[in-house]
Structure 1
Amino acid sequence: MPPKKKGGGKSIVIDGVDTSSMTREQLEVFCQRIKEENEREREERNFFQLERDKLRTFWEITRNELEEARAKIRNKERQIEENTEKNEETLKFYKQKVKHLQYEHENDLTECKAQALVSLKKAGDDHMAQEKELLADKIALKNKIQEQEFNHQEQVRALKLQHSEEISKARSEYEDKAKELELKYEKKFIELREELNLKHSMEIAEIEERKNAQLNALTKQHEEAYGEMKMYYNDITLNNLALISSLKDQMEVLRNQNERMTKQVADLTAENRKMIEPLSQARAEVAEYKRQLTNYEKDKISLENTKIKLNQTKRDFEDLKWANEALELRFEKLQAEYQELKKRFNQAVLEVQQKSSLKNVLLENE
């Protein structure tokens, strides 16, 4: 039999369930369930309390880490400021050094210009002196050339006179020889003719004596003698013609030699005249080359000194540039470390905020 209701039938509602209509077994089951839920809620509360304690401990640890990170960041920022100040001081020092080097370079350049002007003036004076010497040499050479031309003309005149005398002498000698030969052969011809006439007379006498007996022999002998005489006179005539031709050839050779020597003398005179101007130009070019060589050596020495100083300045500039790049790399590294610390700090703050929000939610639920 179900229990009676008390209190005039007043109902009790727990978790939206009306307990007035429940039986005892249902109430026991319901109470057991409520008890289990209460135990579970208690366990959850204990769990959340432990989690709250853990969060508080973690928050304390995170706060300490945050303070340490902030201290490290402050130290890093202080180091960065110190390094920046040192870098600025170093750059200022090297800038002063570069200005000093530039000032020294300008002074050296001014000295080089002054030395170059002095050298140029000295070279101009030397050039004027050399020009005067060259003018004197030119006048002396001109006089010498005129004297040589006069001597050469005298020699040519003497050679022409000597050649004319030799030609006249040779002509007279050849004419005398020709006359002597002509007289000699004419005399021989007369002697031979007389001898032949005598012989012919004797032969005629013999012919008259022998008459008919020796007529054929005498005729034959006469013919032979006539042939020999003809050949002999022909040989004499040919020899005379050959001698005359040889003399004419020798005269032609002498005439050609005379003309060739006259032409050579004219060519030598013209060549001497042509060589005067190139000789003067060559001497002027030699003087100019000597002057340019002197100036070139001086400019070369000045350029070498300037190059040495410029290379030293470049090396100093490269050292400064390398130091600046090293400082920039170090600054970039410090900046990267700063960004990393800042990122870690933001992450830690975000985690703390999330945990704090979760803790507040749990506390509000309690």
Structure 2
Amino acid sequence: QPPKKDAKKKKAEVKPPTLINGLTKEEITREQIEEHVVRLREMLDREREERNYFQLERDKIQSFREVTDRKLAEVKAELKILEKAIEDDEAHHLVGIKVFKQKMKHLLCEHHNTVTELEADIATSTDLLEDEQSQLEADLYKEMMGILVEMQESSCEDVFKELLLVRPLQIEMEELQSSVPKKINVAQKQADLSLRPLEDELTAMNVHVEKIQAQLHALFSAPNLDQTAVTEITDKVEFSENVCKSMTKTHLLPERNGDQKFCYQEPELTVEFLCLPPNRFLLFLFVVTLKCFRSSNKFKYQTHPGGQKEPRATSN
């Protein structure tokens, strides 16, 4: 059982007396009370000022909070708008992806269809080309066989014709090859025989020229040499040069007699030349001989296919 309550009433507790500066109402004086009141008033004023300051701070904080709340609401509204725009973009993007996938499927189907069509066309074209190639090969084989048959048929006739045409030519070539060396030997012998008299004549003329040079040397070394005679002889030399030119045109032309020899015709001396003094006549004769020798050396001999030789004029 719970304990029994006391029937007795508790006595009311006695409040302690209020103290002012450690003194009770009975102990404190009037002046102290007034001082205490003044002090309390000062404290009240100070508290009021502090309250006003804190109220201002509170108002500032409230205004700042209102501004921040308003900005926060605006930011939240913008964020909601952005989220909605993002959702719309995502939905639009998803729709575009779906459309793109559908287009890709259609394109892949078309590509597959075109590939299959091209493969079928290639197969048919290859079959046609193979058929055409086989046909062309067969035609070409037939043509080649026909050409071979024609060549075999015509080969015998061609060989017979070639034998008929080529054999006489070969015989003629062999005859010419065997006869050409003989003809060359005969021509060389004839040339040697025809050149011997000319060589003898040339040696005799060289000996004669040497003799005349010795006589002229003795003539010019004489102490009683006449200068007028020398000038006259030089004039005669010029005149004799012209005479020798005319003589080479008329008398020194090559001629062929019965022995195939080169004919040389000496010029006739005029009476004027014979009437000169011995020294002048000898000098003039030497000059004429030299001119004739030079003009005779202008002709060279050339061998013809028949083995004969003819003189040929060469330019100095």
- Class of the TM-score when normalised by the shorter of the 2 chains: 0.3 to 0.5
Taking structure 2 as the reference length, the TM-score comes to 0.42
Q: Look at both structures and tell me which one has the larger radius of gyration over its CA atoms.
A: 2
Select the structure with the greater relative contact order (CA < 8 A; seq sep ≥ 6): 1
Taking structure 1 as the reference length, the TM-score comes to 0.36
As a proportion of its length, which structure holds more helix?
A: 1
